[in-house]
Amino acid sequence: MAGSGAKTFGILTAGGDCPGLNAAIRGVCRAAHDRYGMSVVGIADGYRGLIDGDCRILRPDDFSGILTRGGTILGTSREKPFKARAREETNDIGEDKVAAIKATYQKLKLDCLVVLGGNGTNTTGYLLSREGLNVLGLPKTIDNDIMGTDRTFGFHSALSIATEAIDRLHSTAQSHSRVMIIELMGHKAGWLALYAGVAGGGDIILIPEIPYDIKAIARHLEKRTASGRSFSIVAVAEGALSVEEAAMEKKERKKYRAEAGAPSVAYRLAREIEAETGLETRATVLGYTQRGGIPSASDRVLATSLGTAAANLLAKGDYGKMVALQGDRIGAVELSVPAGKVKTVPQDHYMIDTAMAVGTCMGV
């Protein structure tokens, strides 16, 4: 499939979509194609396309004019081939999915596979590299929770959207003298809620890393009321939980939440706050709008830089890495660094101190 001498690589996007994916695809492909003369195979819908052999050559027109577009031109899926292997699932022709991926990789005579995704995607990339494939990863997620990079692309776009939403809730909170809760994405890591909470001037910020004490929240709200502030804004990560929930077993917690009849933490919390304080409280779940649309300037720059850096590694044959932002430079780490991990907010992170220094309650 490749030209004589020049390399051929496959590229895929996996996991939830996020702003900047197309900018990164453009970065990798332009640099690889124009600078190094490589051929590009676009793989549809994440690892599923590799399993099913759903691939096609990408020409310059395919990766031109996509810098500002949301989503991913390649499509995506949450297919996890190694989990399937563990469950002994096979594909249509009876093969193990990992074997199918390897077969496609061989058939297309790829020199490398470039994977754009979050923790799951890069973990799969790492496992495939251990199976003998050449793999390069790019760190994409609005959650900013990938080990080895200072920042992931997608995070800043989500931060902008979430902050704008908090700005809007301020109007209603103030006009109606209410407590307004906004639930932001982040199952295990609270980066988005923490940063958007600080950017939006949240009065209370709750993240998964710090289980909250409803009594501490109530005290903070009452202190605000006493000092004449008639409204409050609460930014809460979807994975935030109370100290009571934190003490529960997973099953027990699930049961507890089902009984509460509120799938989202924002609604449970609204009820708890009203019960504790008597203050009128409303919840908003920002949902999917957090990760769609035009990428922010900042994410376009980061995605483009990471993409071209990946092309440079490709050219050098320096495989098995994930490109990364490291301070004021673009570097790379072994794929084993992010594999199987989640970068949560350290308890001593400066942004927690920042939040508390301006009077924000972190739930304790």
Residues annotated as catalytic are 143
Place of tokens 């991990």: 341
Please identify, using beta-carbon distances, which residue of 119 and 304 lies nearer to a second copy. Answer: 304
Please identify, using beta-carbon distances, which residue of 53 and 331 lies nearer to a second copy. Answer: 331
**Cα(186)–Cα(16) distance, integer angstroms:** 13
Binding status of residue 164 toward a second copy by CB under 8 A? yes
Site for a second copy in 128-157 (CB under 8 A): 150, 156
> For 90-147, what is the HEC assignment?
ECCCCCEHHHHHHHHHHHCCCCEEEEEECHHHHHHHHHHHHCCCCEEEEEECCCCCCC
Binding status of residue 327 toward a second copy by CB under 8 A? yes
- Spell out where the chain has E strands: 8-13, 39-43, 55-58, 112-117, 135-139, 179-184, 204-206, 232-237, 281-285, 321-326, 329-334
Number of residues in contact with a second copy, rule: CB under 8 A?
Answer: 81
Looking at 28-36, 136-144, 238-246, 334-342, which segment touches a second copy (CB under 8 A)? Answer: 28-36
For the bound state, the minimum distance from the C-beta of residue 220 to a second copy, rounded and expressed in Å, comes to 13
Looking at 13-21, 131-139, 140-148, 236-244, which segment touches a second copy (CB under 8 A)? Answer: 13-21
Binding status of residue 174 toward a second copy by CB under 8 A? yes
For the bound state, the minimum distance from the C-beta of residue 276 to a second copy, rounded and expressed in Å, comes to 21
For the bound state, the minimum distance from the C-beta of residue 305 to a second copy, rounded and expressed in Å, comes to 4
Other CB atoms within 10 Å distance of the CB of residue 190: 32
For the bound state, the minimum distance from the C-beta of residue 131 to a second copy, rounded and expressed in Å, comes to 27
The amino acid that residue 205 corresponds to is I
Residue 76 near residue 15, CB atoms below 8 Å: yes
Site for a second copy in 266-325 (CB under 8 A): 282, 284-289, 291-293, 296-298, 300-301, 304-305, 308-309, 311-312
Query: Could you write out the DSSP letters of every residue in 234-278?
Result: EEEETT--BHHHHHS-HHHHHHHHHHHT-SSHHHHHHHHHHHHH-
Binding status of residue 236 toward a second copy by CB under 8 A? no
Q: Which of 40, 101, 113, 180 binds a second copy (CB under 8 A)?
A: 180
Binding status of residue 179 toward a second copy by CB under 8 A? no
Please identify, using beta-carbon distances, which residue of 102 and 197 lies nearer to a second copy. Answer: 197
For the bound state, the minimum distance from the C-beta of residue 218 to a second copy, rounded and expressed in Å, comes to 20
Q: Give φ, ψ of 347 to 5 degrees.
A: -60, -25
* DSSP 8-state symbol, 328: T
Binding status of residue 342 toward a second copy by CB under 8 A? no
Q: Give φ, ψ of 329 to 5 degrees.
A: -145, 165
**Cα(330)–Cα(308) distance, integer angstroms:** 10
| CA dist 364 → 3, 200, 345 (Å) | 61, 20, 16
CA atoms within 13 A on the CB side of 226: 7
Please identify, using beta-carbon distances, which residue of 13 and 129 lies nearer to a second copy. Answer: 13
Binding status of residue 326 toward a second copy by CB under 8 A? yes
Task: Classify residue 71 by burial, with Cβ atoms within 10 Å: 0-12, 13-18, 19+.
Answer: middle
Site for a second copy in 188-217 (CB under 8 A): 195-196, 198-201
What is the pattern of x (binds a second copy, CB under 8 A) and - over residues 61-100? ------xxxxxx--xxx-----------------------
For the bound state, the minimum distance from the C-beta of residue 71 to a second copy, rounded and expressed in Å, comes to 3
Please identify, using beta-carbon distances, which residue of 114 and 133 lies nearer to a second copy. Answer: 114
Please identify, using beta-carbon distances, which residue of 96 and 225 lies nearer to a second copy. Answer: 225
For the bound state, the minimum distance from the C-beta of residue 200 to a second copy, rounded and expressed in Å, comes to 8
* SS3 of residue 10 by DSSP: strand
Please identify, using beta-carbon distances, which residue of 126 and 195 lies nearer to a second copy. Answer: 195
Total count of residues recorded for the chain: 364
